[in-house]
Amino acid sequence: MAFLQNPPQLSHPYRSDRSLLALLDRALPAERRAALDADLDALGDYAQMAWLRACNTTRRKPVLTQWDAWGRRVDRIELTTAWQEGPGITTRHAVLAAGHADSEHARLEEFARVYLYHLASEFYTCPLAMTDGAATAIRASGNRELIERVLPRFLSRDASTFWLSGQWMTENAGGSDVGHTETVARQDAGGQWRLYGRKWFSSAVVGEAALALARPEGAGSGTAALALFYVETMDGDRRKPELVIDRLKDKLGTQELPTAEIHLDGLPAWPLGELAHGVRQVAPMLNVTRTWNGICAVASMARAISLARDFAARRRAFGRPLIEQPLHAQTLADMQAEFEGAFALAFEVAHLLGRVERGTAAPHEAALLRLLTPLAKLWTGKLAVQVCSEAIECFGGAGYIEDTGLPQLLRDAQVYAIWEGTTNVLSLDSLRALAGDSLGALRTASTHWLDGNDDMHAASAIRQTLDAAARWLDQHAAGRETLESGARGLAFTLARCAAAAMLARQASWSSAHADPRPAAALRRFVRLGLDRLVAPDGDNTALLLG
Ligand code: MFK
């Protein structure tokens, strides 16, 4: 019998994830920690089952049928199995409800669930993120009628009453530059607002509701004149005729997710608040979905590394298992250190969000959250692509073969750098945050996170790099073009410093609990470098593009 390679096995995504277990043990009071265990265990079981199922079945994509045999417009979308299971799993394990519970730990407990569920969900987490964001934005609007109508649906623990919500923002002209939105809101004779226009990326078109940006008829141009509307998509069990699905997108990845192009032809809509400043009103939603993006990105990294490490123990080359080959071990350890930094940052944003929402955060932490949210999103998004790419390379040619399930990890990871704003858009958003005193808040927080850690080299590298970032910002604050051109380097630098300081806090706790591995991750993460600052070189850029 010719040689057959053992395929990689996925170890239990919850019980074998030491980063998640240690974080929850450190950050949660014992009672809450214990109460969370059953849901996380079950979501880990589901994730393991879903991986095996995906390995043993032919992949499917959603199918849109626009017309029935008799010429009636139906716009019916057939979903994959994981998507059909989505409402049941989500509500049974209170994925969204947990995040809105009355506790400063609510968001951490929610995002622990999201982290475990994400890959098994086949990006059902995308509309879940938007539903979570919509619930947050509607709550922030103070619109009582709407809060009472939709929050029990969006946060339901019962699949039969659960509603998904979309976020209809992106248009052909207004992608990142949402101020170019062309969708118009017009009042009919009865005073009902109705939306007319085309939305270009609607990933929750199978949902029951959405928040949509539109320009009230007669309002001026630009971002400030946009208003935020709430819409419902269904009339009983039929989609409203004023919502037309033009086609499903043929995407690089996230292919189980039915992202649609749609037309709104007079869809009834209700303003959330004032008939202007819609972007300001949708910002709480954006910040929540960006938090989901960061957590989902680290979930992809965790999966890629878990499979690559398992395979390295099974696969022999040049006389020994790959894991014993020094260069391969080095590669895996670098991935692990970068992952642990990203994990620390993404989950700190989640925990902080809960504390800020519940009013238990320290005074500087609201500014800190405003900065860390785009930093976590942009850095983890890019890192996920790098880690997934490296991981599939760890399998050699097998990593390039579709039905190993490995290429999908990389294709899907590419979405994190695009979904909810590209790396550059998020870098510019971090400049918005830095216009306040968020850098001071990061310095204060870092001092706190480093307190009690005995890795003097790491502490000094973090402080020196934060000083360098502050000097860079001072030097370039007045020159907008230079500031923007270096915004990505600044954002990566701050993200890495924040992640390192958070890793230091986790390392102190873990060392005291006889686990030296996070301290090792910190040493390696710092050695891989914190400083990504870019010297201004406008002339050189112009020459290269000429
Ligand atoms: C999962 C799989 C997905 C499947 C495939 C999907 C592929 C991708 C599909 C997509 O299209 S994802 C892209 C979604 N689009 C975005 O994420 C928008 C990207 N653009 C931005 O983020 C811009 O920064 C933004 C539109 C939010 C604002 O740009 P502007 O037009 O220059 O607005 P401006 O005047 O700076 O900000 C308006 C207000 O919002 C200001 O407040 P004031 O009115 O009080 O002055 C800002 O401070 C506030 N604001 C903006 N961003 C904020 C914020 N407030 C809090 N947090 C933020 N993040």
Q: Average the pLDDT over 102-117 and give the result.
A: 98
Distance 178 CA to ligand 1 centre (A): 7
Please, what is the end-to-end C-alpha distance for the chain in angstroms? Answer: 60
269 touches 231 (CB < 8 A): yes
Mean pLDDT of the chain: 96
Q: What is the pLDDT of residue 175?
A: 84
pTM over 0.85: yes
Q: Which two tokens stand for residue 323?
A: 């894991």
pLDDT of 128 strictly over 90: yes
Question: What residues contact residue 35 under an 8 Å CB cut-off, 6+ apart?
Answer: none
Q: What is the pLDDT of residue 334?
A: 98
pLDDT of 1 strictly over 80: no
Sequence spans of domains, the chain: 165-278, 424-537
Q: What is the pLDDT of residue 138?
A: 98
Q: What is the pLDDT of residue 162?
A: 98
Residue in 341, 382, 495, 385 with CA at minimum distance from that of residue 430:
495
263 touches 244 (CB < 8 A): yes
Q: Residue 237: which pLDDT band, with cuts at 50, 70 and 90?
A: confident
188: number of Cβ within 10 Å: 10
pLDDT of 535 strictly over 90: no
518 touches 449 (CB < 8 A): no
Q: What is the pLDDT of residue 470?
A: 97
Secondary structure element (H or E) that encloses residue 520, with its range: helix 517-527
Q: Average the pLDDT over 195-210 and give the result.
A: 93
Residue in 303, 283, 305 with CA at minimum distance from that of residue 521:
305
Pairing of strands 209-216, 184-187: parallel
Q: Residue 436: which pLDDT band, with cuts at 50, 70 and 90?
A: confident
The residue nearest atom 6 of ligand 1, judged by CA position, is: 419
Q: pLDDT of 389-406, one tens digit each? A: 999 999 999 999 999 999
In whole angstroms, what is the distance from residue 271 CA to residue 284 CA? Answer: 16
Q: Which two tokens stand for residue 486?
A: 């270096």
The residue nearest atom 52 of ligand 1, judged by CA position, is: 283
Q: Which fold has domain 165-278?
A: Butyryl-CoA Dehydrogenase, subunit A; domain 2 (2.40.110)
Query: Measured from the CA of 421, which atom of ligand 1 is nearest?
Result: 17
Distance 545 CA to ligand 1 centre (A): 28
Q: Which residue has the higher pLDDT, 546 or 367?
A: 367
pLDDT of 209 strictly over 90: yes
For ligand 1, mutation pick of 279, 426, 434 (most atoms within 8 Å of CB): 279
* Strands, E assignment, 40-101: 63-67, 73-78
In whole angstroms, what is the distance from residue 333 CA to residue 348 CA? Answer: 23
Q: What is the pLDDT of residue 174?
A: 74
Q: What is the pLDDT of residue 203?
A: 78
Q: pLDDT of 137-194, one tens digit each? A: 999 999 999 999 999 999 999 999 999 999 999 998 878 888 899 999 999 999 999 9
Q: What is the pLDDT of residue 204?
A: 80
Q: What is the pLDDT of residue 537?
A: 87
pLDDT of 453 strictly over 80: yes
Q: Which two tokens stand for residue 363?
A: 């005074």
Q: Average the pLDDT over 477-501 and give the result.
A: 95
Question: What residues contact residue 366 under an 8 Å CB cut-off, 6+ apart?
Answer: 356
Q: What is the pLDDT of residue 533?
A: 97
Q: Average the pLDDT over 82-95 and give the result.
A: 98
In whole angstroms, what is the distance from residue 65 CA to residue 267 CA? Answer: 21
In whole angstroms, what is the distance from residue 247 CA to residue 62 CA? Answer: 11
In whole angstroms, what is the distance from residue 269 CA to residue 467 CA? Answer: 49
Q: What is the pLDDT of residue 536?
A: 83
Q: What is the pLDDT of residue 306?
A: 98
**Identity of the residue numbered 232:** E
456 touches 520 (CB < 8 A): no
Q: Average the pLDDT over 33-37 and give the result.
A: 97
Dihedral sign of CA atoms 102, 108, 111, 116 in order: negative
Q: Residue 307: which pLDDT band, with cuts at 50, 70 and 90?
A: very high
Distance 451 CA to ligand 1 centre (A): 35
pLDDT of 223 strictly over 80: yes
Q: What is the DSSP letter of 8?
A: P
Question: Which pairs count as long-range contacts for 400-408, CB under 8 Å and 24+ apart, including other chains?
Answer: 404/7, 405/51, 405/54, 405/55, 406/307, 408/59, 408/253
Q: Which two tokens stand for residue 458?
A: 């790491």
Q: What is the pLDDT of residue 452?
A: 87
Enumerate residues lining ligand 1, CB below 6 A. Answer: 123, 126, 169-170, 175-176, 178-179, 201, 203, 223, 254, 257, 259, 277, 279-280, 283, 286-287, 415, 418-421, 425, 429, 432
The residue nearest atom 21 of ligand 1, judged by CA position, is: 176
Q: Which two tokens stand for residue 2?
A: 């010719």
10 Å CB burial of residue 169 (0-12, 13-18, 19+) is buried
Question: What residues contact residue 189 under an 8 Å CB cut-off, 6+ apart?
Answer: none
203 touches 257 (CB < 8 A): yes
* Strands, E assignment, 72-222: 73-78, 165-168, 184-187, 193-202, 209-216
Q: What is the pLDDT of residue 100?
A: 98
Residue owning tokens 């001026």: 220
pLDDT of 90 strictly over 80: yes
* Strands, E assignment, 217-330: 227-232, 234-235, 238-239, 243-248, 260-271, 316-317, 320-321
Q: What is the pLDDT of residue 46?
A: 98
